[in-house]
Amino acid sequence: MVKSSQRRQLQPTKWRAPGLACVAIVVSVSITWLRLSADSPVKDQPMATQFQFARMQYPGGIPEYLKNWYTDYPAMDKHLTVLLQRVTGIDVAPPAVVSPASGLIFNYPLIYSVEPEQMVLGPSDITNLREYLARGGLWFADDFHGDEEFNQFLAQIRRVLPWASPVELDTSHPLFHCFYDIDEIIQVTNDSIAKCPECEQWENGPSGKIPKVFAIFDQDGRISILMAWNTDLGDGLEWADDPSYPASYSTYAFKFLTNAIVYTMTH
């Protein structure tokens, strides 16, 4: 619980030096866990004492459009929750949906946003998110592609944190090693692209080809906002139980989300 359009314009700083080490949680897990776990039925669980995954129900976007805050919902959230408890042993509650303007946001150490380029934050959202981040919460954004969407989301971030400057992370950062060791940043594609070998395997033109991870740090060097750009981790988890969807994408998506959650809980 938390207590109290162009890439050349962005000019992100490349993060290289390691920061605070994550608290290690050691488990032995077979590489085949995902296929086995994803085939299991998703069931509601009792309320957690340790972690609850929360999706941000942000304002903005096109009403009734396929893509919005609810993209991949609820399958992504349910699959992540079940797998997270099964693999890590963390006591996990059923997933939640929360408005950025709600006081309930302070109940969650991590809030997840999908398609964040669509959000149009209001004054109450901005004030609440600024306080949430100041208290130590982590805002994680996923599934936005290309320079235009990056810049659209960055404009909303800077309404919350006017000084925000994204820093590109490489795999030497402790985030990539605090539960699983992740040595490569993989581009997870959406379901339709993954099942279309003749299609371009990226979205939104040439600037959407290379997956990257960015962070915005607070004054103590802790990640406040984490951004998975040019990748679709939500689809990786939504389709984890589909034999025709690449298991390597689902595996990576789960590992990355797990590391983000463990990082949040140990920082």
- Please report whether residue 126 resides in a domain: yes
Q: How many distinct structural domains can be found in the chain?
A: 1
Render pLDDT for 94-147 as a digit per residue (tens, 0 to 9).
999 999 999 999 999 999 999 999 999 999 999 999 999 999 999 999 999 999
- Please report whether residue 72 resides in a domain: yes
Quick one: pLDDT at residue 258? Answer: 98
Render pLDDT for 133-160 as a digit per residue (tens, 0 to 9).
999 999 999 999 999 999 999 999 999 9
CATH number at residue 61: 3.40.50.12140
For residues 169 and 50, which has the higher predicted lDDT (pLDDT)? 169
- Domain span at residue 201? 7-266
Diameter of the chain by CA atoms? 51
Instruction: Give the mean pLDDT of 15-35.
Output: 38
- DSSP codes of every residue in the chain: ------HHHH-PEEE-S--SPPPP------TTHHHHHHTSPP---PPPSSB--EEE--SBS-TT-SSSTTTTTTHHHHHHHHHHHHHH---BPPPEEE-TTSGGGGG-SEEEEESGGGB---HHHHHHHHHHHHTT-EEEEEEE-HHHHHHHHHHHHHHH-TT---EEE-TTSGGGGSSS---S---PPPHHHHT-TTS-SSSSSGGGSS-EEEEEE-TTS-EEEEEEES--HHHHHHTTT-TTS-HHHHHHHHHHHHHHHHHHHH-
- Please report whether residue 1 resides in a domain: no
Render pLDDT for 59-88 as a digit per residue (tens, 0 to 9).
998 877 878 999 999 999 999 999 999 999
- pTM for this entry: 0.83
- Please report whether residue 203 resides in a domain: yes
Quick one: pLDDT at residue 267? Answer: 85
Least confident of 25-34, 99-108, 228-237, 251-260: 25-34
Render pLDDT for 195-250 as a digit per residue (tens, 0 to 9).
998 898 999 899 999 999 999 999 999 999 999 999 999 999 999 999 999 999 99
- Please report whether residue 67 resides in a domain: yes
Q: Nearest 10 degrees: CA dihedral of 218, 223, 229, 231? A: -170
